[in-house]
Amino acid sequence: MTRDTALETGLDHPAKGFGITRREILVTGGATLVTTLFVNSAADAQTPGATTKNGGTKPVYVPSGDDAVSHSVADNLFWTDILTEHATFFVMLMPGAELAGPRGRAEQFKASFAGQFEKARAARLDKGNYAAFNRSTVELVKPFIDFKREMQQAQQSGRMRSLVWPLFFDHTAREAERFIRRLDQLSKGDADLEHAEVVDFWARIMDEHAEFIAHLLDPQEDPLIEKALSSSAAFRDLRAKKGSKSQAETLAKSIIDFKTAAAKGIQAGQIKSIIPPALADHVRREAVKFEDELRRA
Ligand SMILES: [Fe+2]
Ligand SMILES: [Fe+2]
């Protein structure tokens, strides 16, 4: 059977336990399919002020209300977990003795954000203490942004030869910079999300996620690579044209479905790639966060 025939018929790797094929993941990718792919992890501990959206291996923390305290709780939980994972990916992608220095620094950031996540879970933030907690997070994030920018320069100048793309350092630095801007705004009591800012920030992030996926898939996963690249182009277009709320929502839903199906396909060994399952779930959670912010903006 040729590769193309296998893809068309979906006969090469029937999904174990789910009764779906790679072809169906690619073509369908819809909400109905997605809800059947994952068992909700509803047992995740709730923190007052935040609620969780599930669908993957980890919950997505979103504000339970529209006030600055709820947003602070959710954003501290969501982003400190995301930053812990950025550090985890850097450690994973900095192998060998010659990268022991930067790898060790990434390990320290990983521990620092895992610790702050636990503090955010235990903190019980209220009007009296949330701004101080936000400031303590900001002080941890700043040196991590500096590290990402330093590594970006080292990698793109050829002084460092890790497996981390310069764009991945830049992308993750922008996520951290936006987290700080958001915490500073929340600390002033302002929880407003502005539609134009939400679309501009997240459309670029979603565009780049699709590019990451395209470049980490097996080089012969042609239809999935094409789908990822067309998704990247759609987000670039949305950003350039400052698309409407409904256009953004439609694209957000489709990228969540694509990432959720891809994450499951990767986990089930149905999609050939070098995408770690944790990275697939990471970009899925960011897409769910995007959709949640869009709804509030
Ligand atoms: Fe991220
Ligand atoms: Fe990201």
Domain ranges of the chain: 1-37+193-297, 45-191
Q: What is the model's pLDDT at position 55?
A: 63
Q: What is the model's pLDDT at position 54?
A: 66
Residues with CB under 5 A from ligand 2 (ion): 205, 286
Query: Residue 278 Cα, ligand 2 centroid: separation in angstroms?
Result: 12
Residues with CB under 5 A from ligand 1 (ion): 82, 175
Cα 171 to Cα 157: distance, rounded to the nearest angstrom: 17
Query: Residue 9 Cα, ligand 2 centroid: separation in angstroms?
Result: 33
Query: Residue 172 Cα, ligand 2 centroid: separation in angstroms?
Result: 6
Query: Residue 205 Cα, ligand 1 centroid: separation in angstroms?
Result: 9
The ligand minimizing its distance to the Cα of 209 is 2
Query: Residue 86 Cα, ligand 1 centroid: separation in angstroms?
Result: 6
User: May I ask the CATH class of domain 1-37+193-297?
Assistant: mainly alpha
Query: Residue 81 Cα, ligand 1 centroid: separation in angstroms?
Result: 9
Cα 183 to Cα 72: distance, rounded to the nearest angstrom: 7
The ligand minimizing its distance to the Cα of 167 is 2
Assigned CATH topology for domain 45-191: Ferritin (1.20.1260)
Query: Residue 156 Cα, ligand 1 centroid: separation in angstroms?
Result: 20
Query: Residue 31 Cα, ligand 1 centroid: separation in angstroms?
Result: 23
The ligand minimizing its distance to the Cα of 208 is 2
Q: What is the model's pLDDT at position 199?
A: 96
Q: Which of 185, 167, 175 is nearest to 144 (CA)?
A: 175
Q: Name the one residue in this structure whose structure tokens are 């951290």.
A: 176
The pLDDT profile of the chain, 297 residues, written as one tens digit per residue, is 333 333 332 323 333 333 334 433 333 333 322 222 333 344 345 688 888 776 677 899 999 999 999 999 999 999 999 999 999 999 999 999 999 999 999 999 999 999 999 999 999 999 999 999 999 999 999 999 999 999 999 999 999 999 999 999 999 999 999 999 999 999 999 999 999 999 999 999 999 999 999 999 999 999 999 999 999 999 999 999 998 889 999 999 999 999 999 999 999 999 999 999 999 999 999 999 999 999 999
* Same fold across 1-37+193-297 and 45-191: yes
User: CB of 42 within 8 A of CB of 265?
Assistant: no
User: CB of 295 within 8 A of CB of 202?
Assistant: no
Cα 226 to Cα 242: distance, rounded to the nearest angstrom: 24
Largest CA distance in the chain: 66
